[in-house]
Structure 1
Amino acid sequence: MPLKAKIKDPAFSTQATRMASHNEPIAIKEQPGDDPEDVLFNSYYGVRTIELNRPNKLNSLNASMARKIVPRILEWQKSDLANILIMSGAGPKAFCAGGDVAALAQQNTDGPDGQAKSLAYFGLEYQLDHLIATCSKPYISYMDGITMGGGVGLSVHAPIRIATERTVFAMPETTIGFFPDVGGSFFLPRLEGKLGTYLALTSERLKGVNAFYAGIATHYIDSSILPNLTGRLAELDFKDYEDLATRLATIDATIAEFDSGLPHNEPMLLAGELRKAIDRCFRHQTIEEIIAALQKEPVVPATNEATDMIQTWAQKTLSTLSERSPTSLRVALRQMQLGRDWRIAETFQREHELAGKFMAHPDFTEGVSARLIRKPATTPTWNPSSLDGVSADDIEGMFRPREGVQKLRLFNHSPANDYLEYPYRLGLPREDEIEDMVRQGGKTAGQVIRQILRKHNQKVGVRQKIEEVLQRCCSEDDQGLLVWTAREA
């Protein structure tokens, strides 16, 4: 049986120190009043597990939890006995539903001192997220249940992310007057087409296998299999000379042993005509242009059923955007445009600056109070209340670093792991891979499917992904050979 958190690792101490870009070490230690049971740490042969243990709060992340997790990961990175790190959530409902924003909003009412305390929490959270994104050991997130906001930061930067039939993914920050943080500036713009911008602005939820299809998860298995998978991963024994990529490939093959198939009653949601409409509408540079594009949908009549579906989607999306914080919408769109060029360290440092601006902005406290604190929930009163009240200068000011403020210091921060693209691709094949093969010319759809299936070891979901991309992006010439016809989003 795994060892519980109360049994200390010999190498573990409650205070962790690591050098960042400055000379003094960063110290993370537990504080009086921290709940000793809000995170459980297990050891099972070579596996080390982190279980978020606030099921009554949907495992929402707080500072007490982060102060426990950071030192553990730092110590496990050094340990020859720790082969694989796995993070999960207690109970059947949630992996992690987000950060404890209600406490932060109430804290902000204390003025600058309260806002500074809230910003300190975000600094700790982002340090943890960056540590996960640059972890030197294989890190796996079990996205079993609600995975939103802060829970996204604990999962999407992992090289292996497992969705289940209970997964519910969303970045709901614009609904509470905030911005898609926890590395959303990095993760979302790197999704295919304009999916990231769409998810950032609308907070659209993706359930179950659709988190896998969209590239948010790298694997999909049934939740009932997770305990057996953990046991199997504990049996893996890596060689000292094997690098991280080799170890991840072994884990990827091991997960394939537990393939339970994909649900037949959950079609690919962000696909076909809907995906085309998302890319058409959300490719624009301003919120006003996005709104105007949505008002024109459907611009390409298809079948009656598809036309009606796109029209319904466009009206629903327009209604959704009208309910969001105007400041949050403008910031989130600008974030998607800028973040594509940020490296992973700069992402969290920039977001930390931005979080500080939002702690002093009225929309965050108002949005959280209206949605989560007041009973019953009310409609937030945004300030400014319309897009016209938020100028381009206002938004550029939100992204402008504050003078005299030190950048957030990070663990594992070195040129070697400060990447511009995620270093490992273990999920479904990306569209650019499929496009490259089609553009080489001389291939039928069957040949493309067979070649990519072989390359991805017949991974579950690969065929469905290829077929959707080919149908949406290609046509056939007179000889039945594929021609790439899609325009870049």
Structure 2
Amino acid sequence: MIRNISTSGFTLENQRREEPTSESDALYDQAAAASANCELRSANCPDGLKTEDGRRLEESRLDISSCRLVYRLPIIHRYPEPMLSRTLFRRAGPTATACRTLTTQSSISSSSSSSSSPLSSLRAAALFSRQSSLSSSSMPLRAKILAPASPPARTMATAASAPVSAATDVSDRLWKEQPGDEPEDVLFTSQYGLRTIELNRPRKYNSLNASMIRKIGPRLQEWAKSDMANIIVMKGAGDKAFCAGGDVTALAEANQRGLEGQQWSADYFALEYKLDHLIATYDKPYVAFMDGITMGGGVGLSIHAPFRIATERTVFAMPETNIGFFPDVGGSFFLPRLPGAVGTYLALTSERLTGANVFYAGLATHYLHSTSLPSLEARLAELRFHDYEPIETRLATINATIEEFTTGLPRDQPILLAGSLRNAIDRCFGHDSVNDIVAALQAEASAPLEGESASEAGAAAGEATRTWAAKTLKTLQHRSPTAVHVSLRQMRIGGRWSIAETFQREHLIASRFMRQPDFTEGVSSLLIRKDKGRPAWKPSTLDDVAASDNLTEPYFAPDRSAEDPPALRLLNARDYRERPYGELNIGLPSEAHVAALVNDGVKSQREIINQFVGQYRGKQGVKEVVTEIIERKTIKGERGEAVWLDEA
């Protein structure tokens, strides 16, 4: 029996066979003899193949290593029931290529004819196949980056077919491509086992909108089912921004239309959080190039990835309190889990971190120079994995590969959130009320020099701390009082939320913000009208908020009103309370890791530092970060051992 797919240009056929035949050997010989860079693509079907019901099929390739020949043709990846059995094409020798068919949808037509031309059979082999898997151990640790035999296949950002596990809420209907969506605001590239997503709105700093989400999410779902897709890379077009955030001006303008517009905004957040949760629970390696401005919605696309690469151009911030909002996109999850009070400090102040300090703070897992990213991308495309290799093995290989491209940390950019400044952050932002935080900052800003601070170095550090406290106090007074209070409560309870609960709770909070004035006023004042003064917050200042006002309760109340959206239904049921794969030591050691080793036995400060450097295989940044933690959080005991200080 033959199943075939008819297109406007040709018919692709696959015969039901269980064992290799002389015909399969002939097909392999034909492929190996073909000229390099040949593409099997019909002139009448320039946008790719489609099934008879008009569905676009995912792009894939057959890599025949003997001649580095790549055939780019779609494969079928989703189906209600099996239709095609496995067909194997094997050839003895080191260049053997194993290909198998994937099952098709039941709508594909059948044919009783078993004859096919060699070319159509070759096309069938290319269509119903995957590239051979090479052991990752067979790849040299540092391989030369060679130009691929054929350029990566770039496709226009067309929407994929609807996800199988889609929930039945309003945002699901918006998951599919809508009229008016920009056609090329996202570009997708396939090169061997690498799939690249490129945010393509450089003039708008790649700000994220619903049109982009509707392209990225379904494509990630397709790749999750594809045996051909090994690694996902997310990056931004241009050299200014990875993604500067969500398109908040569109949300503010929608809110001004009343309840209908506010519901539209809530639906946007549902789309965004579905995508963020999909990334956070993705079951294939996902690498985010945080090259350039990475804020707000851009943080949601990157912070939940197992690999987050900062460069000298990275500018990280959660700027939401500056526009009358709260740090969303999973901020409830990752910010409270940062060491000490760093997460609370970043959430309330919208403070920016740049370059290597994004790496030092644990927000990025690696630091590379931006000029290394194209070579890294090419190297990642060369990695091959066996089907049976677990995700942990693949992540470890990718981690080692990224480390190949490190060129050192900038000497002129020391750790910012360190020493006396870091201690001051913990003292001030460790409080559980905004009034106490403000009082602590006021005390720091006017603190006299005493004790060890009387030394020249101590005096300089003390002056820097006072300057920081005064500046931070002014910053908080400029932020939305409502946003500051809501964000603080979020930081205190979000650390107990799972990743799924995080996005579900944030969706409810975000929808309630859309019905309150501060978000619309903040965006309109700062980004639309571009006012020079403070936005007209309600309430106006932190002093206007009394403890009895219970300002945050309407945002966190569990009971839903008629105006609230239904509970957010995520695209999968995966969940966790701590980042997975922490045992792989992908990022830098945290304070908790250092504290555990200090309290585990009698070790000197130097021994602890050396042990971490060895445990992380000489990873750049480990020595610097662990040394800073040891100097700030430990003292020498009677026997020279490091003793952990519970209080700074």
TM range (shorter): over 0.9
1:439 Cα deviation after fit: 1.1
Counterpart residue number, 1:33: 180
Question: Equivalents in 2 of 1:140, 1:84: separation in Å?
Answer: 8
**More helix as a share of residues:** 1
The correspondence for 2:468, drawn from 287, 300, 313, is: 313
Which deviates more, 395-404 or 327-336? 395-404
1:18 Cα deviation after fit: 3.1
1:375–1:437 distance in 2 versus 1, CA, 3 Å: closer
Which structure's relative contact order is higher, taking Cα pairs within 8 Å and 6+ residues apart? 1
Question: Equivalents in 2 of 1:16, 1:233: separation in Å?
Answer: 29
Which deviates more, 246-255 or 438-447? 438-447
Which deviates more, 445-454 or 155-164? 445-454
Counterpart residue number, 1:343: 498
Asked if 2 retains the 8 angstrom alpha-carbon contact of 1:18 and 1:26, the reply is no
Counterpart residue number, 1:19: 165
The correspondence for 2:423, drawn from 271, 276, 284, is: 276
Counterpart residue number, 1:156: 303
1:258–1:283 distance in 2 versus 1, CA, 3 Å: same
1:6–1:67 distance in 2 versus 1, CA, 3 Å: farther
Asked if 1 retains the 8 angstrom alpha-carbon contact of 2:171 and 2:271, the reply is no
Deviations 1:17-65 (A, max 9, x none): 2326779994521111111110000001000000000000000000000
Larger radius of gyration: 2
Counterpart residue number, 1:176: 323
Question: Equivalents in 2 of 1:240, 1:465: separation in Å?
Answer: 37
Paired amino acid for 1:17: P
The correspondence for 2:335, drawn from 185, 188, 206, is: 188
Counterpart residue number, 2:645: 485
Paired amino acid for 1:469: I
1:377 Cα deviation after fit: 4.7
1:94 Cα deviation after fit: 0.1
Deviations 1:318-339 (A, max 9, x none): 0000000000000000000110
Asked if 1 retains the 8 angstrom alpha-carbon contact of 2:169 and 2:566, the reply is no
1:487 Cα deviation after fit: 2.1
Q: Does 1:449 align with 2:612?
A: no
Asked if 1 retains the 8 angstrom alpha-carbon contact of 2:296 and 2:328, the reply is yes
Partner SS for 2:503: helix
1:403–1:112 distance in 2 versus 1, CA, 3 Å: closer
1:376–1:289 distance in 2 versus 1, CA, 3 Å: closer
Asked if 1 retains the 8 angstrom alpha-carbon contact of 2:252 and 2:524, the reply is yes
The correspondence for 1:257, drawn from 388, 404, 422, is: 404
Q: Does 1:395 align with 2:552?
A: yes
1:22–1:38 distance in 2 versus 1, CA, 3 Å: closer
The correspondence for 1:94, drawn from 241, 246, 249, is: 241
Q: Does 1:411 align with 2:571?
A: yes
1:23–1:51 distance in 2 versus 1, CA, 3 Å: closer
Q: Does 1:329 align with 2:484?
A: yes
Partner SS for 2:294: strand
Partner SS for 2:487: helix
Question: Equivalents in 2 of 1:195, 1:466: separation in Å?
Answer: 17
Question: Equivalents in 2 of 1:24, 1:100: separation in Å?
Answer: 20
Q: Unpaired runs of 5+ in structure 2?
A: 1-36, 40-45, 49-57, 60-73, 78-158
Paired amino acid for 2:556: F
Counterpart residue number, 1:420: 577
Deviations 1:301-356 (A, max 9, x none): 52110000000000000000000000000000000011001011110011100111
Asked if 2 retains the 8 angstrom alpha-carbon contact of 1:186 and 1:342, the reply is yes
Asked if 1 retains the 8 angstrom alpha-carbon contact of 2:169 and 2:569, the reply is no
1:74 Cα deviation after fit: 0.3
Counterpart residue number, 1:460: 620
1:133–1:228 distance in 2 versus 1, CA, 3 Å: same
1:263 Cα deviation after fit: 0.3
Which deviates more, 475-484 or 17-26? 17-26
Asked if 2 retains the 8 angstrom alpha-carbon contact of 1:363 and 1:383, the reply is yes
Question: Equivalents in 1 of 2:160, 2:225: separation in Å?
Answer: 15
The correspondence for 2:365, drawn from 218, 226, 235, is: 218
Partner SS for 2:430: coil
1:25–1:193 distance in 2 versus 1, CA, 3 Å: closer
Q: Does 1:47 align with 2:202?
A: no
1:442 Cα deviation after fit: 1.7
Aligned length: 483
Question: Equivalents in 2 of 1:486, 1:208: separation in Å?
Answer: 30
TM-score, normalised to structure 1, is: 0.95
Q: Unpaired runs of 5+ in structure 1?
A: none
Q: Does 1:143 align with 2:290?
A: yes
Question: Equivalents in 2 of 1:223, 1:21: separation in Å?
Answer: 39
Question: Equivalents in 1 of 2:262, 2:171: separation in Å?
Answer: 25
Paired amino acid for 2:575: D
The correspondence for 2:600, drawn from 437, 440, 460, is: 440
Question: Equivalents in 1 of 2:237, 2:380: separation in Å?
Answer: 19
Question: Equivalents in 2 of 1:21, 1:102: separation in Å?
Answer: 28
Partner SS for 1:385: coil
Asked if 1 retains the 8 angstrom alpha-carbon contact of 2:485 and 2:551, the reply is no
Question: Equivalents in 2 of 1:159, 1:16: separation in Å?
Answer: 26
1:427–1:365 distance in 2 versus 1, CA, 3 Å: same
Question: Equivalents in 2 of 1:396, 1:158: separation in Å?
Answer: 32
Equivalent positions of 1:48-63 (< 5 A) are 48-63=195-210
Question: Equivalents in 2 of 1:246, 1:170: separation in Å?
Answer: 32
Paired amino acid for 1:423: P
Partner SS for 1:51: strand
Moved over 6 A (4+): 21-25
| Superposition CA RMSD, Å | 2.0
Question: Equivalents in 2 of 1:435, 1:21: separation in Å?
Answer: 43
1:440 Cα deviation after fit: 2.1
Paired amino acid for 1:366: E
